[in-house]
Amino acid sequence: MATEIKLQKLGENLEGGKVLDVKVEAGATVVQGQPLVEVEAEKAAVEVLAPEAGKVTQVLVQKDDQVTVGQTLCVLDGANGAVPAQPQEKAEPTTEKPQTASPPQPQPQAVSQPQSRLPAASQRPVQPRATTGTDKPVPAGPATRRLARELGIDLQLVTGTAPAGRVTPEDVKAYVRQLATGLTPVSAAAGPVAAPPLPDFERWGGIEKKPLEQVRRKTAEHLSRAWNLIPHVTQHDLADITDLEAFRKSQEGNGPKLTVTGFALKAAAIALREFPQFNSSIDLAKGQLIFKHYVHIGIAVDTDRGLLVPVIRDVDQKTVYGLASELTEIAQRARDKQISVDDMRGGCFTISNLGGLGGVSFTPIVNWPEVAILGLSRARLQPVIQDGQVTPRLMLTLSLSYDHRVIDGADGARFCRRIADLLENPLKMLLHA
Ligand code: CAO
């Protein structure tokens, strides 16, 4: 029986993604669970799997196609009739109903045409990607959505002029006109962000041009936005982690692998509870600070696709051992392309540990809409004067970048010192759940 393999929901407010890889050809025989197509949305790559064993009769997409949720990716002639494949990702529970399969078509021809495809990325207008800063669904009718899709415009960026902020087709066209002038309302507010044309580098030697991968593009957009929106200050401090390191080593083989990052997670969670302004987001338009009653911390993970920041939830309620094993698991999933968009959302604060690689200190960029990020550099043995004696101690540089609109310098220094204090006295962490 022919089953259309459709793209299922990828994450909240995600209408589709880009085909990273088509793993089968028409005529291929597949086993149940075999990856058919890999789709990338935001920074997450998800594999669409065969729901049952069978023969792929049609492949309707190709690498780099933009695909939308519900679109048929390929057709599988399976022995048993089947439910549609789910992307291989763990998504947070959602109130939306899951997509259901289209009934199998009696005529293979009926499913042989892919749904209308978006124009290739290179044909769409280039869109500066500063955003309005909201993930809420944009109020807009089907005609507006269709027009935006055809033009490759993110409706989140368009200001709606109809009642209740509804976006009209005219609004989309006006936005495109603004793009043509190189000035969007957001870029105008945030200052000039459009780069001048690049020089012809070939004048000075050979060059090679490569398209920006999705993760690199998203990272660039996100960091530019954060850098433009947030007045950054970076506070550096030193934590003496000699005792912590001795304890860590003494625990080797006793449970999940403990690393500095696991302890830093716990210390940051305690500090976030004590300094709630570090666990907030600012909404200048509404004149509000939004304080979160939960402590979810993102961890910057270096993967071969680029930087990913999966989020560990309720860090304040977990032990260092629990955090260590979750950290190992989530970093591995990020590297194995098993991370979903929702796994990377909802963070309150971020930790970026470059210490495994080296370095003395650095200035991390705040992961907007958060207001602070902690960078860890490589801990080094340094001569420290204790009781008038020069003593070798293992010193870890902490680099806390924060949003100066929300956090005063004195609080930045106090917060950073508190984390240092907890790392210097790991027993104090036991006092917290
Ligand atoms: N100083 C000294 N040693 C450190 C250290 C530090 N700051 N951080 C980690 N180490 C040690 C660990 O303790 C471990 O030592 P042992 O092998 O002796 O046990 C070793 O380095 C390897 O650690 P790790 O990096 O594998 O594990 P981790 O839990 O400390 O870090 C993770 C996990 C995901 C944070 C890390 O692997 C990673 O991806 N880091 C890069 C983050 C990044 O790219 N940031 C840049 C973002 S842009 O701002």
User: What is the separation of C-alpha 141 from the centre of its chain, rounded to a whole number of angstroms?
Assistant: 28
The CA dihedral of 409, 410, 411, 417, to the nearest 10 degrees, is 110
The yes-or-no verdict on residue 103 having pLDDT over 70 is no
The yes-or-no verdict on residue 95 having pLDDT over 60 is no
Which atom of ligand 1 is nearest to 328's Cα? 29
Lowest-confidence segment of 55-64, 123-132, 367-376 by average pLDDT: 123-132
User: What pLDDT does 179 receive?
Assistant: 61
Average pLDDT over residues 160-174: 81
Domains of the chain and any CATH numbers: 2-100 (2.40.50.100), 112-188 (4.10.320.10), 232-430 (3.30.559.10)
Q: Indicate the pLDDT class of residue 193, thresholds 50, 70 and 90.
A: low
**Mutation test residue for ligand 1: of 227, 245, 247, 261, the one with most atoms within 8 Å of CB:** 261
- Residues whose beta carbon lies within 6 Å of some atom of ligand 1: 259-261, 299-302, 307, 327, 331, 352-356, 364, 376, 378-379, 396
Q: How far is the CA of 128 from the centre of ligand 1 (A)?
A: 34
| Annotated catalytic residue, options 222, 232, 296, 404 | 404
Q: How far is the CA of 301 from the centre of ligand 1 (A)?
A: 9
| 293 tagged catalytic | no
Which atom of ligand 1 is nearest to 262's Cα? 29
Average pLDDT over residues 100-126: 31
Which atom of ligand 1 is nearest to 351's Cα? 35
- On whether the CB atoms of residues 366 and 373 are closer than 8 A, the answer is yes
Could you give the percent of the chain with pLDDT greater than 90?
56
Average per-residue pLDDT for the chain? 83
Decide: helix, strand or coil at residue 404: coil
Higher pLDDT, 51 or 137: 51
Decide: helix, strand or coil at residue 275: coil
Among protein residues, the one with the nearest Cα to ligand 1's atom 44 is 302
- On whether the CB atoms of residues 301 and 343 are closer than 8 A, the answer is no
**Mutation test residue for ligand 1: of 244, 353, 377, the one with most atoms within 8 Å of CB:** 353
User: What pLDDT does 10 receive?
Assistant: 79
Q: How far is the CA of 318 from the centre of ligand 1 (A)?
A: 20
| Range among 72-86, 135-149, 209-223 rated most confident | 209-223
DSSP result, 132-192: -S--SPPPB-HHHHHHHHHHT--GGGSPP-SGGG-B-HHHHHHHHHHHHTT--HHHHHH--
Asked if residue 84 has a cis previous peptide bond (ω within 30° of 0), the answer is no
Q: Helices H, strands E: what count in the chain?
A: 8, 19
Could you give the percent of the chain with pLDDT greater than 70?
82
Average pLDDT over residues 248-262: 91
- On whether the CB atoms of residues 146 and 140 are closer than 8 A, the answer is no
